[in-house]
Structure 1
Amino acid sequence: MKIDIIQAGDTNIAVVFSEKPVIVDVQSALDLILSVSYQTDVRRIVINKEAMGDEFFILSTGLAGEILQKFINYQVKVAMYGDYSRYTSKPLKDFIYESNRGKNIFFTGTKEEAIDKLKEK
C-alpha cells in the first residue's frame, strides 16, 4: 500500500493505492482511517477500487454500509475510483448514485475525479 499526500486547492488529501485489497472488513477500514489520520493528519482519502475487497461491492453482505459508516463516524470523507462497469447489480448502482449525491462518500471513474470531489466538498 502506498499513501501520498497531495494538496488540492486549500485541502490536503491522502491518496491511497494498493494492487491488493486493503479494506476487507470493518477492522481493516478502521485501521486505514486511523493510520492515515495519525500519519498525515488528513481527513480526506482517495482510494483505488482494487484496494477494496470484493465483498464490499456485494451489498447483501452489509459490509459496505458498515465500512462507510466508520468513515462518517470518524469524519473522514472518502472517494473511491475505478471501473465499476463489471458490477451489474441495480442496488449497487443505486447505492453509488445516492452516495455521489451526498457530501462524504463518492465513487468516481478516475483518481482525478475523486480528488476533485474531495476538494469541492
Structure 2
Amino acid sequence: MEYSQSDFSDELNKMIKSTEQSFVQHCSFLMNEFEPMFKKKNQRLHLELIKNGINLFTPGYVSLVLVEIEPHLEKYKIKIRIPIWKCQRTILGIPVTNNIPCSKITGTLNTLENVKNVFKEFILDNLKKDYAMVAFI
C-alpha cells in the first residue's frame, strides 16, 4: 500500500512496527516448519529481518525480510528479498536522493497477508530442487 508524506503519522508508525513484528513472528514459524527439512538435505535455510535506517519516514529507510537458502556443497546462495516498508523520495515516479523541488516523499508497505504465499512458494520450490543434480547439467 502506498502512503504519501501527508499520511505519515504516529498511527502509521505503529502499524509499520507492528507489521515488521508480524513478519518476524512468521519467519520464526517458517523456520520451525522448514528448517528440519532443509537439514535432512544438508542445506541451510536462513530468514532475517533487515532494517536500513533509523527513522521510518526518512527517505532511504527500508525494512525487508531476507530469505536465504544455501544448498549443500554449493558456492552460491539462493536469496530473495521481500520488502516490508520502503520510504523514498521521488520525482515523477523516479527515485531520487536529493531534495529536488516538486519531489515527493512516499512510503510503500507490504502486509504479511500479501506476501505469505511468496515466502512459502519460494521455500517449497527450493526444497524440492536437487541442486547436486542441477550443478552437473
Higher helix share: 1
The alignment's TM-score, normalised by the length of structure 1, stands at: 0.29
Higher strand share: 2
The alignment's TM-score, normalised by the length of structure 2, stands at: 0.27
